[in-house]
Amino acid sequence: MSAVATPPADEPATKEKNGGTQRFLDAIERLGNKVPHPALIFLGLIVGVIILSHILYLTGASVTTDVAEPSTVPVYPDYEQGTSIPSLPHTPVPPVPDYEIQQETISVNSLLTADGIRFIFTTAVQNFNDFGVVAVILVAMIGVGVAEESGLIAALIRKMVKVAPAGLITFIIILLGGISSVASDAGYLVLIPLGAAAFVSLGRHPLAGIAAAYAGVSAAFFVNILITPADGIITEVTNETIGLVAPGVTLNVTQNYFFSSASLFFCALVMTWITEKLLEPRLGKWDPKEAPEDHEEAATDQVLTDEELALESRGLRLSGYWVLVAVAVVALLTFLPNAPLRNPETGEIFGSSPFMSSLLFIISMLFLAAGLGYGRGAKTLMGSTNVINAIVKTFNGLGGLIFLMLLIAQFIAYFNYSNISKLAATGLADLLESANIGALALLVGFILLVAVIDLIMPGVIPKWAILAPIFIPLFYRLGIAPQTVIAAYRVGDGPMNVITPLMVYLPFIVLVCQRYNRKSGLGTVVSMMIPYTAIVLVTWIIFFVVWYLVGIPWGPGAPVHLN
C-alpha cells in the first residue's frame, strides 16, 4: 500500500514503471466485462461443441492410447440379518478402486447423429441432477447464510483483525485456502467471502481479499499439509501404470508429502507478494459507494457502540458454546469404536470414510450452530421464523447462479460425451512424448502440458487417468521415479484453475465480487487472477527444478531418481 502514498513527484515514475502491465490488465478487464452475459457465453459454447463434434466425427478423428480405468468389481446382494435368506459373505469393496491399464481407441461422438440428439433430449434433467456443485452450494449456504445474517461473520472478522498482525492477514487467508482443499467446496464457498470481509475490516480493497482467497483455494489446489482423498486416487492410478514397466513397484499416499507441504507455504508466500505488491496498488482504494445499494451498508465496516460490543461479545461466547456441543456430537459419531462416521469395513476415519465424505455437511452444520448461537446471544436472530427467513434470503440471491449452473452442466455433459477433451489431451501428450529432449526439460514440458490441458479439463483425476499411462512408463525408462512425475503434475495442475472458464465456481466468485463492486464481471476476475497464474506457474516451476537438482526426497522414502 506504500506505493499508493508515494509523493507526487514520484508518481510519474511509478506509473511509467507499471503502466504497461496495468494497461494490459485493465484492457483485459474492460474486454472481459463487455462480453455477453455468462449464460449467453455458455449457450454459445454448447452450440460450438455440438457443431465441432459433428465436424470431427465426419473427419473420423480418433486416437488409440493406454488409459487407466477402474477395474470391474463384482456386485453381491446383501441381506438384512434375521430374514429367511442368509447374508452372503464376500470381500469388501476397497475404499479406493483398483485401476487397470487398457488400450482404448478414443473417437469423437457427434451430437448431431441420432444417438447424439437422443443424448441431448433425454439427459437434460439428469445432467443437471448429476451436477453436484448445485447441491453442494445449497447445502453449504444453509450454515453460511445463517452465520452471515446473524452477524457472526462480521464479528469473527473484527476479532481476527484485532488478534492477527495486519501484515499477516493476506498470508493467513491464502494458507487457509490451500489447506481447505481437503474439502475444496468449503474453501470456495466460505473462505472467499471471508477474505473480502477481512480486507474491508482493514480498510483494504475487498476484491483483493477475494483474489487472495481464490488463489489460495484454487491455484495451489493439489498441494496440502494434509493427505487428501485425491492423493489416494492418484496413487492408485500411478501404481497401476507402473505395472506396465515395473511390476511389483508401488507407491504410497505420502510419496509427495515433503514437496506438497513445502509447495503450499512457497505458493502462499508468492501469492501474498502478488496480492500486496501488484494487485492492491492496481485496484487502489475501495469506495463503499461502488457496492450495490442493498449491499453498501453491509459492505462497510461500522463502528459499534459499547452496548453493541457487549452484545457481540456475548454472542461470540454463546456461539462458541454451541459449536463445542456440535463438535462433541460429531466426535461421538466419529471417534468411538464402530461409530457410524467411520468406514464400516476398515474402521478408517481420515481415509475413505463417511466422515471425510460428509466434511462439507459437517462444516455447514457447524456454521449453522455458530450462527444460531451468535444470533441468540447477540439478539440479532431470534425465533425460528427469522432463521428460516435468513436461509430463504440467502437462497434468493442464488437464483441467477443456479440458472447458469444448469447451462454449465449441459455444456460439460456434451463436452464429455463428444470426447473432444480426451482427443486434445492425448494428442498433446503424444506430441510431448515424441520430443527428443532431456529428462528435466521433458519434466518442465510436462508441467506446461498439464497447465494447458487444465484449461479444458480442470479435474485432477480425469487428466491423470489420461496422462499417467503415457508419462509414467516414459519417465520410468529415463530413470525418473513415478513420484517425481506426480510432483511435476501437482505444479501444472493448479495455476490455470483460477482463469479457466470451466471452473464451476467462477460464476459464484463473480457474484461475490458484485457485492462490493456492482460493475464487476468475468473480466474483473480474470484480470485479477492472470498475475497469479503467470507468476505462480513460473516461480513454482523454478522451485520444482531446484528441488529436483538438489535431490531432496519428495516424501518419506521417495527419492527424486530411481535407485
Query: Does 480 map to a domain?
Result: yes
The DSSP letter of residue 87 is P
Strand-pairing partners, residue 103, are 66
Indicate the pairing of strand 99-107 with strand 62-70.
Answer: antiparallel
Distance separating alpha carbons of residues 395 and 391, to the nearest angstrom = 6
Distance separating alpha carbons of residues 472 and 488, to the nearest angstrom = 11
Q: What is the DSSP string of 44-96?
A: HHHHHHHHHHHHHHHTT-EEEEEEEEEPP--------TTSSSPPPP-PPPPSS
Query: Does 36 map to a domain?
Result: no
Query: Does 486 map to a domain?
Result: yes
Q: 351-355: long-range contacts at Cβ-Cβ below 8 A with a sequence spacing of 24 or more? A: 351/95, 351/232, 352/95, 352/96, 352/229, 352/232, 353/95
Query: Does 151 map to a domain?
Result: yes
pLDDT at 61 (0 to 100): 87
Query: Does 175 map to a domain?
Result: yes
Q: 3-state class of 510 per DSSP?
A: helix
Q: What is the DSSP string of 251-277?
A: --TTTTHHHHHHHHHHHHHHHHHIIII
What is the pTM (predicted TM-score) of this model? Answer: 0.64
Q: 3-state class of 250 per DSSP?
A: coil
pLDDT at 205 (0 to 100): 93
Distance separating alpha carbons of residues 24 and 384, to the nearest angstrom = 51
Closest-CA residue to 26 (of 207, 199, 279, 274): 279
Grid cell, residue 294, equals 442493498
What element of type H or E holds 202? none
Q: What is the DSSP string of 149-167?
A: HHTHHHHHHHHHHHHS-GG
Structural domains counted in the chain: 1
Closest-CA residue to 18 (of 212, 277, 255, 208): 277
pLDDT at 17 (0 to 100): 43
Residues in the chain: 563
Residue 80 backbone dihedrals phi, psi, to 5 degrees:
-65, 140
Residue 199 backbone dihedrals phi, psi, to 5 degrees:
-65, -40
* Residue reference for cell 485496484: 283
Burial of 236 (0-12, 13-18, 19+ CB in 10 A): buried
Distance separating alpha carbons of residues 37 and 44, to the nearest angstrom = 11
Closest-CA residue to 205 (of 266, 274, 285): 285
pLDDT at 6 (0 to 100): 38
Helix-, strand-, coil-residue percentages of the chain, each rounded to 5:
70, 5, 25
Distance separating alpha carbons of residues 375 and 381, to the nearest angstrom = 4
**Range of the structural domain that residue 410 is part of:** 128-550
Tens of pLDDT along the chain (563 residues) come to 333 333 334 434 434 445 566 676 666 666 656 666 667 877 888 999 899 999 999 998 887 776 666 666 555 454 444 443 444 444 444 555 566 667 778 889 999 999 999 999 999 999 888 776 677 778 877 887 888 788 887 677 667 667 778 788 999 999 988 887 765 566 787 788 888 988 988 889 999 999 999 999 898 888 888 777 678 778 877 887 776 667 777 888 788 999 999 999 999 999 999 999 999 999 988 888 887 766 554 454 455 677 878 888 899 999 999 999 999 999 999 999 888 998 888 888 876 678 877 877 888 888 899 999 999 998 888 888 888 988 888 888 777 778 877 887 888 788 878 888 677 767 666 666 666 677 888 899 899 999 988 887 777 777 787 777 778 877 877 778 999 999 999 999 989 989 887 787 888 899 899 989 888 888 889 889 999 999 999 999 999 999 999 999 999 888 988 86
Query: Does 15 map to a domain?
Result: no
Query: Other CB atoms closer than 10 Å to residue 401's CB: what's the count?
Result: 18
Buried-exposed string 365-395: b where 16+ CB fall within 10 A, e elsewhere: bbbbbbbbbbbbbbebbeeeeebeebbeebe
